[in-house]
Structure 1
Amino acid sequence: SDVNECLTGNHNCIFGLFCINTEGSFRCQRETGCGTGYELTDNNRCQDIDECVLGSHNCGPEFSCTNTAGSFRCRPKETCAPGHVQDAIGNCIDINECVVYTSPCPPGQTCINSPGSFTCRRNTITCGRGYHLTEDGARCEGTDVTHVPGGVCGGHGCVNLIGSYRCECRVGYVFNSISKLCDDINECRHYPGTLCAHKCENTDGSYRCSCTSGFKLASDARSCEDVNECETNPCGQECANVYGSYQCYCRRGYQDIDECALPTGGHVCSYRCANAPGSFYCTCPTAGYTLAPNGRSCQDIDECATGGHTCSASQSCFNVQGGFRCLSFECPVNFRQAAPGRCERVTCEFTRSPASCSLLPLRISHYNLTFPADTPVPADVFRMGPSNSVPGDQMDISIASGDEEGYFEVQPQTHGGVISLRRAPAGPRDFLLTVEMRLVRYGRSHLYMAKIAVFVTPEIKNTFTFQSCSKM
């Protein structure tokens, strides 16, 4: 009978092999299989299965089978052109080199894929104002305008900023953030009555003082000194110098003349003349003025500064020549007060009618101006424009109401416009101008409004004539 060596232990199978009894003998077999693509031989070795020879592959008719260790590969019988790759079913697909490769083009150039290849195109970058393209064309960098020949600040100091610049203006000038230039300061308008004793005339970057008749400019170029007119013998008989003028008087045998009754008597005083024995005296309007130290001119009283006004607590006082105005400020519906004299539109989404709200101006600003009726024309009285400028801005400024008689006009400028007085009113009067500015920026239209109260005041003359004598 057969002996089972596997049971009796008379086999020689090593670790990793197990014993299988056979009739008259035994054999050793691997405990684990060889895995996919391999088969076990009689000598317990794993041998690769050639699927291509056995025909157990699944390659299509357009592919050829190539055996590999433990598997096989289906390779297309036809190859693709350069720049293409075949998919699993043999189709040729373009390779996007711009995605597959890292930085296929040099800096400053853009990769553009094409069938079977790619091209590099130089970047086209448009730099904004104050920037220029770098040498490699990859980016914009700020322009150092401090080295621009001739300078961009017109002889003033220049400070370079990133993408912009700022002018360090000389004394007598102020930097204009809109035009990026230094504008002359009108010192006479900014500091009325404080720079010169009598008359102030603006000059480029400064100002010049002058004196009225009867005075001369002092050594400080601001004060006025009395002129002794008697030194030039202006009188037919006797002369007495007075402050700012002189007075002629008569010798015995001659009579005094009423200076106020002379044809030119209306020019003895700036307002009204009253005769006195051997002389005369001047008076001013009962309200709004006080007699100047020279005894002939009338000076305006600032009721707002002295507290002589009658405005209520809810009103603001604005001084004008010879008086004052009590002004009220209140924002209309759909607006809120953002600052004194300025209203801003509320968010339209929270209003009852968002469509009609969006047609309202974004901002309404209130301004007050005053000047005498005999102001030389044309005269610029107000300038309007955006707080900053952007290339491509389009602006339209117009007087919407308040100038039905055509006293004012709009003069367009590069970054806004100027409201000018083109003809002087016949006398004192008040105007309330509504000026609108429509700004188109980046394709969107915005409306801004300015309410300008203009108070034109009467002018009091300051020219004088004097006494004469006649034989009794």
Structure 2
Amino acid sequence: MFASAVTVLCFLGFCSLHPSFGQDCTNRQDIQGSLKQVQKLLSAHEASYLQSLRNLKKKINLLQSSTGKQASKPTNSTCPKLDTLTNGRKLGKSHSVGHEVHFLCEPGYELVGSESRVCQESLTWSGQQPSCRDINECASSPCLNGGTCVDEVNQFSCICAKGWAGVTCQSPLPTFFVTMTNTSAATSPDAAAATTLPAATAGPFVRPSRCSTVQGTTHCTCEPGYTISGRDSSICTDIDECELFHDGQAGRLCLHTCVNTAGGYRCTCPAGYNVTRDGRSCKDIDECATRQNNCTRDQTCINTYGGFQCVRVDCPKIPNATYVKTSPMRCERNPCPVDNKACSQTPNSFSYHYLAVVSNLSAPRVMFRVSALRPIGDTLRFSMLGGKQARRHFTVQRSDRLTGQLMLVSPVQGPATLEAEVEMSELERRVQLGRYITKVTMFVSQYEF
């Protein structure tokens, strides 16, 4: 169509340049008609060309738009799914960037690895994949007096040595004392008479024997708690039960101190303890309940094993914040000014707790729990503050989503005083909303009753 229009134009131009050929050229009406047709053809061609350009431009714009959306939207906006824990569980289902997942182990198992993991911008998880390891309850040697420990799930059992019983083989079996008899030949009836000891050898730890003659043989016996002294059947000496059963197979008679007496023994306890009804164990005296203490009015009496402690709680002095005592064992921060960011970063409260424990307490063991009653944020974090001594004996673990627990990880030899601080932080989308400090003081006694 475009070629025919060009041909007509060329022909008309030739006729106009050479009027001598007018007879052969088309008349003017035909020429005007042809020009109108050519004009229509050119207009139609121009319209079609412009429409094609517009369609091509739209396709290019759509292609650019779809390419930009695919580039801005990642193929996967979540971290990979985490493996489930054997003998444990996972807290948190969201795998989106910035979300946190916590791990817990069932009772009798300890967590090895990261307690919590966060989905990072790189779509990878922070920390290491944790696992739950069986706790060896026999690691702390809980069985006493030669007992054999058998590790079980979340518990242990003791196979006691001969002469001992109890959960930890702590109690000796009852021992019966049999009166010893010495037999010697008698040549005359006079030898059967009871012998009277000289005054110099008589005393509470020496007794005369009781002899009788049967068919020409003399039998001598002693009172309970005494025995024939060597070859002299006429003298009975006291049995030192404390020495005899100190390291014997039957074990110790007393849990603390054994005192030998004439014909027997008695058990004594250290200061701060009384002998129990069984006569061999010791029971702590509660000096706070019986008012056998010298604590002042502004102090609180804390009963400990074998004694007591007078404590006084004073609110901490921290720059940019002030605290007021709301109870004998709790201090809370006064409201912070709106423009004081340093104040808002300080702990919201301090709580003080005191524990009394015996020496060499078996571990691991839960000593204290911290929880949130009405959480505001979406995440709670628990951590331990303090020095090397506290970290050597304690650690902080999560027992559920809202609770953290202070764990004793190694036995402590008393007497000693240990302090540990547990911090609970409340967060909303990884932004801190509040901090709460719990200070735990543990008084370890000198004895293991």
What TM-score do you get using the length of structure 1 for normalisation? Answer: 0.43
The structure where helix makes up a greater share of residues is 2
Give the structure with the higher percent strand: 1
TM-score, normalised relative to structure 2: 0.45
